[in-house]
Amino acid sequence: MKNRAWWYQRMGIFVLAMVMIVGSAFLGSVQALDGVSVHGQLRVDGINLVDHTGMPTTLHGMSTHGMQWFGKFASAGSFRTLRDKGANVIRIAMYTDEGGYISNPSIKNTVYQAMDAAIANDLYVIVDWHILHDGNPRTHETEAASFFDETAARYSHTPAVLYEICNEPNGNVSWNEDIKPYAEHIIPIIRAHAPEAVVLVGTPTWSQDVNVAADSPLAEKNVMYTCHFYAGTHGADLRNKIDAARQKGAAVFVSEWGTSAADGNGGPYIENSRQWLDFMKQRQMRWVNWSLCDKNESSAALQPGASTDGGWTDANISASGRFVFSQF
């Protein structure tokens, strides 16, 4: 004959098990709840990114490093791990220069594989024409036109893709003379296949002069201007530029930021990063962090030698990665 205490103990174990089962099912669905299957086609409403129901929607996730160097990390396993940690967007950084698309156009196959892997994991995906040393997007405008024509045709069936048409214009480049006409050329090419796609447009000074773009905005709908920051280098001055641009009605998207200094190294500057994340949260903006790779530099989220297929333990994740993943 079992005594009362025995029954109470068994009931306690049963209730605990039920709570754990229901709880983990709920947590699993919260992660999936943030993806493409829930939010659908995104659009720009005033200065906000909203989902297909009109709800403000924040994208938060990781950017790859250059696909020509670290493309292996853009794998289904990595993306599943990031999704399970709470990310809902992946940015695929396709460098144009430095051995990227211009000298090796077949890199686009790696890019498409990566985009497919992100989409299969219910993630939004930003395809990034990653100009950098080639600071003026007009330098490779012809190649950009054909790349975006092909890419938008290929992904016209899904609302998952956002198009970032020039990573970081820099050097002798002007919004009105260079970037704006470039955008006016490229956006209709994308829209011919993907009429509703959100397009992200870089701004002068490594995508910091969002206020300059706001003074002379593009006429197209569903456009956001990118602001990039590195927490060890950029602070209140750049945040003020973002507020100034938003006050003028420009939608701003942080498609790249790092916990490091602007060269990708130093730090990580965690307290400065927190200030930036608070600033964005207060404005219902979120972000894409640089970068998903194991390079020996402080902005890299993974430790050298980490698996290219996800499933990382804490020991495989850098100080930057641990902080960033905790903020998804």
Contact status: 264 vs ligand DCB (CB under 6 A): yes
CA distances from 269 to 22, 143, 265 (A): 38, 37, 10
Q: Which is nearer to ligand DCB, 98 or 150 (CB)?
A: 98
Least Å from the CB of residue 295 to ligand DCB: 5
Count of positions on this chain that bind ligand DCB (CB under 6 A): 15
Q: Which is nearer to ligand DCB, 122 or 256 (CB)?
A: 256
Catalytic center residues: 168, 256
CA distances from 146 to 26, 151, 152, 257, 277 (A): 44, 9, 10, 28, 36
Q: Are 94 and 111 in contact (CB under 8 A)?
A: yes
Least Å from the CB of residue 108 to ligand DCB: 18
Contact status: 256 vs ligand DCB (CB under 6 A): yes
Q: What are phi and psi of 131, to 5 degrees?
A: -70, 145
Nearest CA to 229 out of 191, 247, 203, 198 is that of: 203
Positions in 113-142 near ligand DCB (CB under 6 A) = 132
Positions in 64-83 near ligand DCB (CB under 6 A) = none
Q: Are 203 and 169 in contact (CB under 8 A)?
A: yes
Q: Using CB under 6 A, which of 73, 257, 290, 328 touches ligand DCB?
A: 290
Q: What are phi and psi of 153, to 5 degrees?
A: -65, -45
Q: Are 201 and 224 in contact (CB under 8 A)?
A: yes
CA distances from 177 to 12, 123, 141, 216, 251 (A): 71, 35, 14, 11, 21
Least Å from the CB of residue 201 to ligand DCB: 15
Q: Using CB under 6 A, which of 122, 164, 297, 301 touches ligand DCB?
A: 297
CB closest to ligand DCB, residue no: 264
Q: Using CB under 6 A, which of 70, 155, 182, 206 touches ligand DCB?
A: 206
Q: Are 86 and 59 in contact (CB under 8 A)?
A: no
Contact status: 259 vs ligand DCB (CB under 6 A): no
Binding residues vs ligand DCB (CB under 6 A) = 98, 132, 167-168, 206, 230, 233, 256, 262-264, 290, 295, 297, 299
